[in-house]
Chain A
C-alpha cells in the first residue's frame, strides 16, 4: 500500500525566514528558498508537526 503523504501548506506572506522549522525538522523535509521556507522532501515527513508547532509566524500548516 502506498504511504499517504501529508500536505504541508506554507503561507509565504507570513513567513519571515527565521529558519526554526528548517533546523528542527528531524527528517530535513524543509529548506530555505530565498527568504521563505519551502518543502524539499515531502516523502521524508513523519508528521511530527514540530514545524507547525514551532513556527512563530503561523506560516506552516500540516495536514497529516
Chain B
C-alpha cells in the first residue's frame, strides 16, 4: 500500500494553500513520516508555530496544534513543555519567523536546552507578506525591499543554533526528500533542544526575482549546493565554496531543562 499521509492530516484540509512547487509540502510529508516512525501519538504531540507560510503547517496536522503570535512559537512551546513535560513538542517556522522576529526566543530556547524539536523551513525570504528580505537572504540577492541587491550578510541558522547552545543541529534540503524524515526522527528522539534547518524553495517571491526560471531550477540548485557532512571532510575549502553542509552537524548530551527545573522544585519543597 502507498504510505497513508492522510491519517495525520485533518480531514478536508487538503489541498493546502502553498504555491505550486513550494517545498513546504515536501517537508510536511517528511514530518508526518518522522512522527509515524517515532511512534508519537496524536493526542500527545504538540505542534507549535508562529506566523508565516511555514507556520501554516500545523493547521493541516491532526495533532495538538498551536498557531501563535509572530516569532513567539518558542515561547509558547516552552510553556506547553513546562506544564506538560510528557508531551512531545515540535515547533515549525520559517527563517524570518524564527531568526528575525523570534530570534530572541529562538536563541534562548537553544540556550535552555529544553526537550523540543524546532524545524526551520528556510526559504530565504518572507514569502507570505510579499517577498521582503529576511535574515537568511544571501548577500546580493533581490527581494521586494532590496530591488538592487541585499547588502546584509545572511545568518547561518545551523551555526547560530550551535552557538546558542542547541544540543542537536541538522540540516537538510527539500530536494533530498528521503533524508528529511530521518533527520527529523533523530531530532525528535534526541533529548534536548534540537534544530533541523531545511533549505527550501520559494518560487513565487524568491525564485522569480533571482533569475530562477522554474521550480526545477530551484530544486536543482538545492541539489548542487548540498554536500553531506562526511563527503565534506575530504573536500578542500575551495571546493566547499558556495556549498552548504547537510546531515547531522552537531550532537551532544547536556542536562535537559525540564528535569533541571523539577530538581529546583524538589529542593525548594525540601527546604520548607
Residues of A at the B interface (CB closer than 8 Å) are 7, 9, 13-14, 16-20, 23-24, 50, 52-59, 61-63
**B177 close to A63 (CB less than 8 A):** no
C-alpha spacing A63/B14, complex, angstroms: 21
Q: What residues of B have a CB within 8 angstroms of the CB of A54 in the complex? A: 26, 175, 177
C-alpha spacing A7/B2, complex, angstroms: 9
Q: What residues of A have a CB within 8 angstroms of the CB of B219 in the complex? A: 20, 23-24
Residue of B nearest to A7 (CB): B2
**B5 close to A18 (CB less than 8 A):** no
C-alpha spacing A26/B6, complex, angstroms: 26
Q: What residues of B have a CB within 8 angstroms of the CB of A63 in the complex? A: 1-2
**B14 close to A18 (CB less than 8 A):** no
Residue of B nearest to A13 (CB): B15
CB distance from A32 to the nearest CB of B (A): 12
A14-B15, A50-B177, A61-B2 known; A19 and B21 CB under 8 Å? yes
**A18 close to B2 (CB less than 8 A):** no
* B260 at the A interface (CB under 8 A): no
* B221 at the A interface (CB under 8 A): no
Residue with the highest number of chain A CB atoms closer than 10 Å, among B5, B21, B214: B21
Q: How many pairs of A and B residues are in contact by the CB < 8 Å rule? A: 66
C-alpha spacing A10/B14, complex, angstroms: 14
| 6 further interface pairs, Cβ-Cβ under 8 Å (given A14-B15, A57-B20, A63-B2) | A18-B215, A24-B216, A52-B2, A54-B175, A58-B6, A58-B15
* B29 at the A interface (CB under 8 A): yes
Q: Which of B135-182 contact A (CB under 8 A)?
A: 175, 177-178
**A58 close to B25 (CB less than 8 A):** yes
Residues of B at the A interface (CB closer than 8 Å) are 1-3, 5-6, 9, 14-16, 18-26, 29, 175, 177-178, 214-216, 219
**B5 close to A20 (CB less than 8 A):** no
Among the listed B3, B6, B15, B216, which residue makes an inter-chain contact with A57, where contact means beta carbons less than 8 Å apart? Answer: B15
**A53 close to B23 (CB less than 8 A):** no
Q: What residues of A have a CB within 8 angstroms of the CB of B6 in the complex? A: 58
**A58 close to B29 (CB less than 8 A):** yes
Residue with the highest number of chain B CB atoms closer than 10 Å, among A18, A56, A59, A63: A56
**A62 close to B23 (CB less than 8 A):** no
CB distance from A60 to the nearest CB of B (A): 9
CB distance from B180 to the nearest CB of A (A): 9
Q: What residues of A have a CB within 8 angstroms of the CB of B3 in the complex? A: 52, 61
A13-B15, A55-B25, A56-B25 known; A23 and B2 CB under 8 Å? no
**B215 close to A53 (CB less than 8 A):** no
C-alpha spacing A10/B176, complex, angstroms: 22
**B21 close to A58 (CB less than 8 A):** no
Residue of A nearest to B30 (CB): A53
Among the listed A20, A59, A61, A62, which residue makes an inter-chain contact with B21, where contact means beta carbons less than 8 Å apart? Answer: A20
**B178 close to A53 (CB less than 8 A):** yes
A20-B216, A23-B216 known; A56 and B2 CB under 8 Å? no
